[in-house]
Amino acid sequence: MENLKDQLEDGFQHLKEMLEPMQKYVTPTSALVGLGAGLTVYWLIKRNKYKLPPGPTPLPLLGNYSLLGTKDLQEHLAELSKTYGPVITVYMGTIPMVIVNTIEAATEALVKSKADFANRPEFPTGDILSDGGKDIALAQYTPTWKLHRKIAGSALRTYLKGKRLEDAIHGSLVQGIKMFEDTKGEPFVPHSHIDLCVMNIICGLCFQKVYNFDNPAFKHWLDLQNELLTTFGNGFIEDLFPILAKIWPSKRFTKAVTIAQELYQNLEKEFKEHQKSFDEGNIRDFADALILARLEAENEDDTELLSQLTDVHLKQTLGDIFFAGLDTSRLTLQWFLLYIAANTEIQKKAQMEIDNAVGRDRLPGLDDRNAMPYTEATLHETMRIATVAPVGVPHAARVDSKLGGYDIPKGTTIMVNQWALHYDTRHWKDPKKFDPERFLDSDGNLGPKPVSWLPFSAGRRVCLGESVAKAELHVICAILLHQFDIMLPPGVAPDFTPDISGLGGYTANQYKIVVKKRS
């Protein structure tokens, strides 16, 4: 896969070719001296103006480019923290990025500093994916953002919980269980099975649609999402040098934009169909809830409010719930199956708990959650050991501020290394060991949230769908363990090497499992 380091090398070769016609006016020596002097002055001024957190010395223009090609970026950033401290600065090209590697610093940045770091950095990819910042996940911290988050939060609490959520899960898992049964004890890669189940749940909650898993359009939609995740990789050179996105975009960047556009076209099609069939007296799902919010603004004749509830704004809010809910859930479940297959004693203990709580005559549901703390602890441990968003979604400083005693200028990108928090030996004993007991108290009940556990972030930009995701994932995990014994193929050792690791996420490899229907 082409990474950023390769793109930089290709980019500078192209730049050299572009500058060749100017050689008769500027000698190579004078150009090199001028460029070097200019960059040296630029970096000295920029780095000395503020007392930024320490970090490895960047090269002019290139920054700490050697980090860009590393597969386990989050681990390298945590390792740098041992030398430079819990808050460090690395440069991606000319862009300084402040990396937070401990829960104490993360709490200062996300909670104690209130909204100081509640903005998002402005990158070409974010601008394209959010239609210029009209969503929730990537938009700036503004009154419009607060309005959309309030509307979305209200809709989630009203329409994506209780019986609606349980019915969507059960409706999708019925097909999922059959797909697992149809493997007939043969080894198979479970990713597509899980992906189809989760996407069908999201479709049910957002559009009140339940698809057959063999529906071509449904499968194509999921294939596009997988392709976008793979194409994203460890990020784009265009985000380091934004001018390239306008005048000289790479093939990979162009491909990602094309995929994203098709995904949102599909979403827009569903939304427009909902607008045609909307009935104020029958709010069916999340899409209807957004349409209702705009209708209420129209009835109040609130022009200013309506300007913040355009079709584009509502489509983007819908996309946040749809795509974020899809990716984090399915990637977590893929890791869950691998860890549960590799730890049969833990699996048996969870199955015993589920059988005692539910019996064998029905599927686990939301009301059973409190009776299955060990199962939930197993899910939480999966979220810790396999952090699917290892460096989270980047923040940006809204104002000149301080963090860890260092200057953080307005606009600076801040990234919380969630992987480092989840592997911090000060808070986790033997962090590479899969151990659900970490999340239980002495009585075997689910204990308070561990200090250094932050899969959903915190503060003003905490994950909007945290409560829905936890409930959904718990029920799915319980159903799979209730219905099947999950094993690695005979003679196969567990392989926890990720397929993707870094800015693009943390995804499980194409491992195989064997499932046996429980009686």
Query: What is the pTM assigned to this prediction?
Result: 0.88
DSSP 400: S
What does the pLDDT read at residue 440?
97
What does the pLDDT read at residue 22?
44
Q: Strands across the sheet with 413-416, in order?
A: 87-92, 95-100, 413-416, 395-396
What does the pLDDT read at residue 463?
93
Radius of gyration of the chain from its Cα atoms, rounded to whole angstroms: 24
Which tokens is 344 given? 């049969």
Residue 494 region, left (φ>0) first, then alpha (ψ -120 to 50), else beta?
Answer: beta
- For tokens 């920029």, what's the residue? 46
What does the pLDDT read at residue 32?
45
Bridge pairing between strands 413-416 and 95-100: parallel
Closest alpha carbon to 67 in 234, 241, 236: 234
What residue ranges of the chain have pLDDT lower than 50? 1-2, 4, 11-12, 14-16, 18-19, 22-29, 31-33, 35-37, 39-40
- Domain of 68 in residue numbering reads as 4-517
Bridge pairing between strands 401-403 and 406-408: antiparallel
- C-alpha 306/C-alpha 416 separation (Å) is 35
CA dihedral for 365, 366, 368, 372, sign (positive or negative): positive
What does the pLDDT read at residue 41?
52
What does the pLDDT read at residue 24?
46
What does the pLDDT read at residue 48?
62
- C-alpha 313/C-alpha 142 separation (Å) is 14
CA dihedral for 17, 19, 23, 24, sign (positive or negative): positive
Helical H runs in 243-285? 243-247, 251-277
Bridge pairing between strands 87-92 and 95-100: antiparallel
What does the pLDDT read at residue 31?
47
Beta strands in 339-460 (DSSP E): 395-396, 401-403, 406-408, 413-416
What does the pLDDT read at residue 13?
53
- C-alpha 98/C-alpha 110 separation (Å) is 13
What does the pLDDT read at residue 68?
65
Number of domains in the chain: 1
- For tokens 């968003």, what's the residue? 389
CATH of the domain at 384: 1.10.630.10
